[in-house]
Chains A and B, each alone.
Chain A
């Protein structure tokens, strides 16, 4: 479990102060894949680096698996860091060493015997699917392969926590998918707790169970990925959600507004998602339903539908139709 208790971080420049984190409270439970999303400069890099003591809080506490590392001496701190793996955006591999040697590094630092290292590295390279690249050097590998090496290295010492710092941000979409699948497999097979930092909502959608949205050093929204994706509250969160789930015609909507009828944004989730709503509207009320936009997405294995419709008819009938939908538990918004 990782707990941030009222954590702030202020960087002191020559004649300026930069607040990187402001009163952050966050709890990440064992076995979770927790995503933190935000634009550059939101403070997410500082946040993730506090888990493995690469950054120190200016105030507040970071408790990792029950212990506060700020009370550790240097030796204890090195021991503590070995229980946390880290995957980097730019891989940070040793260019002068082979794939084998790169994956072996944490084991060498930990004082393993040669035989034990060979056995463990072979096992890891097999797990990440790089058995045929053992003796290659990083500059002979593709981005995806480099990140596999980075991941193998990060999990070499069977860490309890894996930190992923923009692990897929330097990769193309297809490779991103593969790396995310690998991370998910690691989480499932080894029950490793993961903290994933990203600026891509797709990453959160694909592997995270929980998400926190950061802006200007603060956590502006958090919760289960499903809740945050379906009912984003903060405008920034909405912007992020829209990058993976378009909620309809933001730009073109204006042009419809002059026409007759009421334009509604509708969102179906949970039990309403498979109900034949439109059909019932037409049958039960004297209104014309014009579908301007419709989309269905899958989040955490559940479906979410977004639709923009135009209701035409007597005002009373339109109001009744709206009330009917609200009664069914459909979330709607007048555009």
Chain B
């Protein structure tokens, strides 16, 4: 007989909280992150929209946010979180720091993906008289698509990991369940169940990302 202190309903609620936190912060974080990544790539010296001021501001900002472990970022920006969602507890209060955490991370990953695009292709674009926006839209993004998908996959898995700390602000989720029931109440079953479900989710996300990337790269 399985002995546990949580109900199935609690488990499903936690799963749902994690899903909401990951999806919401992924979508918003990806939009901001992709824009950040593109901005850093095109404004860097030699880029199609070279602008050393934008580059010199964005680059350190990304580095500063990326320096902070999520658990510290989460509590450090509580005033900002309050400003945005008018609360500092619950799932919405976790989503704000998750976005702040993941957007610069995605920005760096996108930057790396875009920098991998063969310089020859960009030279061809330049020789064709492509405008900076055309270079981004018709050359950079399609050529980097496979790599961008893998970057977003990595970011998603990073987000799933970060949501485990959301419990600190009462954000709920699978990770919170593992800490407050599995660890603090010595509920071995809950601990095992959460570990298994996290492994399965991460595996599924990675496989799906690999599948899409392979399709985009036409391998």
Contact yes or no, A52 B130, CB < 8 A: no
Partner pick for B129 among A81, A90, A94, CB 8 A cutoff:
A81
A92-128, CB under 8 A of B: which get 1 and which 0?
A: 1111110000000110110000000000000000000
- Please indicate the chain B residues that have their CB under 8 angstroms from the CB of A92 in the complex: 118, 120-121, 123-124
- Shortest distance between the CB of B214 and any CB in chain A (Å): 13
A95 to B218, CA, bound (A): 9
A94 to B118, CA, bound (A): 9
**B interface bracket (residues with beta carbon within 8 Å of A):** 20 to 34
Contact yes or no, B120 A109, CB < 8 A: no
- Shortest distance between the CB of A182 and any CB in chain B (Å): 19
Contact yes or no, B123 A97, CB < 8 A: no
B32 at the interface (CB under 8 A from A): no
Partner pick for A90 among B120, B128, B130, B143, CB 8 A cutoff:
B120
- Please indicate the chain A residues that have their CB under 8 angstroms from the CB of B216 in the complex: 96
Partner pick for B138 among A82, A108, A139, CB 8 A cutoff:
A108
Contact yes or no, A80 B118, CB < 8 A: no
B139 at the interface (CB under 8 A from A): yes
Contact yes or no, A95 B143, CB < 8 A: yes
Residue among A86, A95, A96, A137 with the highest chain B CB neighbour number at 10 A = A96
Residue among B118, B128, B134, B145 with the highest chain A CB neighbour number at 10 A = B128
- Please indicate the chain B residues that have their CB under 8 angstroms from the CB of A95 in the complex: 143, 218
- Shortest distance between the CB of B55 and any CB in chain A (Å): 19
- Please indicate the chain B residues that have their CB under 8 angstroms from the CB of A54 in the complex: 123, 126-127
A176 to B145, CA, bound (A): 33
B135-171, CB under 8 A of A: which get 1 and which 0?
A: 0001100110110000000000000000000000000
- Please indicate the chain B residues that have their CB under 8 angstroms from the CB of A230 in the complex: none
Find residues 101-132 in chain B having any chain A CB closer than 8 Å to their own CB.
Answer: 118, 120-121, 123-124, 126-131
- Number of residues of chain A lying within 8 A (CB) of chain B: 25
Q: A86-B124, A88-B123 are in contact. Are A96 and B129 (CB under 8 A)?
A: no
Q: Is the interface of B mostly helix, strand, loop or mixed?
A: helix
Contact yes or no, B139 A94, CB < 8 A: yes
A79 at the interface (CB under 8 A from B): yes
Q: A78-B129, A78-B130 are in contact. Are A97 and B142 (CB under 8 A)?
A: yes
Question: Of all chain A residues, which has the CB nearest B127?
Answer: A86
- Shortest distance between the CB of A155 and any CB in chain B (Å): 12
- Please indicate the chain B residues that have their CB under 8 angstroms from the CB of A42 in the complex: none
A94 to B138, CA, bound (A): 9
Contact yes or no, A96 B130, CB < 8 A: no
A55-86, CB under 8 A of B: which get 1 and which 0?
A: 00000000000000000000001111110101
- Please indicate the chain A residues that have their CB under 8 angstroms from the CB of B118 in the complex: 92
A84 to B129, CA, bound (A): 9
Partner pick for B127 among A81, A93, A97, CB 8 A cutoff:
A81
Q: A94-B142, A96-B218 are in contact. Are A77 and B129 (CB under 8 A)?
A: yes
- Shortest distance between the CB of A81 and any CB in chain B (Å): 3
Question: Of all chain A residues, which has the CB nearest B143?
Answer: A96
- Please indicate the chain A residues that have their CB under 8 angstroms from the CB of B128 in the complex: 81-82, 105-106, 109
A92 to B130, CA, bound (A): 15
- Please indicate the chain A residues that have their CB under 8 angstroms from the CB of B126 in the complex: 54, 81
Residue among B121, B124, B216 with the highest chain A CB neighbour number at 10 A = B124
Contact yes or no, A52 B127, CB < 8 A: yes
**Residues on B close to A: CB < 8 A?**
118, 120-121, 123-124, 126-131, 134, 138-139, 142-143, 145-146, 216-218
**Residues on A close to B: CB < 8 A?**
52, 54, 77-82, 84, 86, 88, 90, 92-97, 105-106, 108-109, 137, 139, 163
**What are 22 A-to-B residue pairs whose CB atoms are below 8 Å?**
A54-B123, A54-B127, A78-B129, A79-B129, A80-B129, A82-B128, A82-B129, A88-B120, A88-B123, A90-B120, A92-B120, A93-B121, A96-B142, A96-B145, A96-B217, A97-B142, A109-B129, A109-B130, A109-B131, A109-B134, A137-B218, A139-B218
